[in-house]
């Protein structure tokens, strides 16, 4: 028996629920990480040069790259706990910006997420920057990320507030200092998160662009800009 595909208002409802889940998921992860807040509108930068805060692009700068206004912001000063994954070996893939990757040995950490809406988000951009005592420490963290993704083509992610979702992971490019991959949500109406990671000296950074459509070029452009601000 054929299964009828969602159409019209029902398709719109499915998309809205999917985007709301992702938006709430970003907030839930950052809430678990410590300091979190919503900010609407422009934010005045006052970060001290050389700090992890100074490496992160502002909402205005990020909006220009995406071509859409990102007005809602959440921030965290430490990585959240690892998420539950099935299979368990996929904890890195389902939570690349959590303690599953960044651990606890960092000396400075900053994660910022921007969205075009606090509730129903069509675009979400997350930047994560962490600094470690030595370049060897940062390199080891980067290897955890690359190895974890290499061994996880798909997984079920469990969010304590929103339940389960199934994702497929595909590495597009992998090198000693850079990594590009995508996470595509099953039955997500085209929703995908395109991610980039870099290791530079004592710093490991990530950028994620989540939207319905190809966000890979945007993620690469944003990651390059963040990396250019990281001091070795």
Which are the contacts of 21, defined by CB distance < 8 A and separation ≥ 6? 162, 165
Supply the pLDDT for residue 46. 63
What pLDDT is recorded for position 194? 97
Q: What is the pLDDT of residue 206?
A: 98
Show me where the domains of the chain are located: 8-229
128 membership: H or E segment, kind and range: strand 123-131
pLDDT at 119: 78
Mean pLDDT over residues 168-175, rounded?
96
In this prediction, residue 79 has a pLDDT band, given cuts at 50, 70 and 90, of very high
Q: pLDDT at position 6, please? A: 26
Listed in order, strand segments (DSSP E) in 63-119 are: 72-76, 84-86, 108-115
The per-residue pLDDT for 84 is 92
Query: What percent of the chain is modeled with pLDDT above 90?
Result: 67
Mean pLDDT check: name the lowest of 29-33, 59-63, 171-175: 29-33
User: 187-210, pLDDT tens digit by residue?
Assistant: 777 889 999 999 999 999 999 999
- In the block, which residue shows the tokens 């690349």? 96
The CATH number of domain 8-229, selected from 3.40.1000.70, 3.40.50.720, 3.30.360.10, 2.60.20.30: 3.40.1000.70
pLDDT over 80 at 13, yes or no: no
Phi and psi angles of residue 29, each rounded to the nearest 5 degrees, phi first: -65, -45
Confidence of residue 67 (pLDDT cuts 50, 70, 90): very high
């Amino acid at each position: 028996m054929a299964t009828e595909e969602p159409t019209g208002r029902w398709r719109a409802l499915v998309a809205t629920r999917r985007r709301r889940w992702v938006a709430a998921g970003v907030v839930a992860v950052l809430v678990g990480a410590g300091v979190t807040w919503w900010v609407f509108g422009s934010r005045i930068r006052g970060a001290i040069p050389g700090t992890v805060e100074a490496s992160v692009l502002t909402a205005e700068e990020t909006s220009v790259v995406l071509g859409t206004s990102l007005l809602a912001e959440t921030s965290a000063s430490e990585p959240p706990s690892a998420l539950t994954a099935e299979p368990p070996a996929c904890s890195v893939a389902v939570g690349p910006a959590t303690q599953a990757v960044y651990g606890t040995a960092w000396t400075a950490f900053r994660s910022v997420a921007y969205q075009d809406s606090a509730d129903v988000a069509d675009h979400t951009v997350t930047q994560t920057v962490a600094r470690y005592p030595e370049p060897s420490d940062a390199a080891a963290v980067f290897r955890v990320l690359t190895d974890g993704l290499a061994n996880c083509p798909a997984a079920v992610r469990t969010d304590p507030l929103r339940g389960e979702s199934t994702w497929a992971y595909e590495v597009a490019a992998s090198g000693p200092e850079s990594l590009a991959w995508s996470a595509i949500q099953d039955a997500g109406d085209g929703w995908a998160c395109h991610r980039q990671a870099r290791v530079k000296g004592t710093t490991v950074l990530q950028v994620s662009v989540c939207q319905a459509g190809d966000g890979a070029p945007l993620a690469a452009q944003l990651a390059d800009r963040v990396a250019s601000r990281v001091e070795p």
